[in-house]
Amino acid sequence: MNELKNSPAESLGVPRERRPKHVAVIMDGNGRWAEQQNLPRIEGHLRGVEAVRRTMEACQDFGVETLTLFCLSSENWKRPAQELEFLMALLREYLIGERESLVENNLRLKIIGRRERLPQDVQIEMDRTLEACRDNDGMILVLAINYGSRSEIVDAMTAIARRVQAGEVECETITEEMVGQHLYTASLPDPDLLIRTSGEMRISNFLLWQISYAEIWVTDTLWPEFDKHHLAEAIQNYAARDRRYGGLQTSVESPV
CA nearest to 255, candidates 240, 242, 233: 240
The amino acid that residue 205 corresponds to is N
Distance of alpha carbon 204 from alpha carbon 83, whole angstroms: 20
76 is catalytic: yes
- Residue 161 CA, distance from chain mean position: 28
CA nearest to 226, candidates 59, 105, 64: 59
Contact yes or no for 229/4 (Cβ under 8 A): yes
Q: Which one from 2, 61, 76, 190 is the annotated catalytic residue?
A: 76
Give every CB contact of residue 112 below 8 A, 6+ residues apart in sequence: 142, 143, 144, 145, 147, 152, 184, 185
3-state secondary structure of 33: helix
Active-site positions read: 28, 76
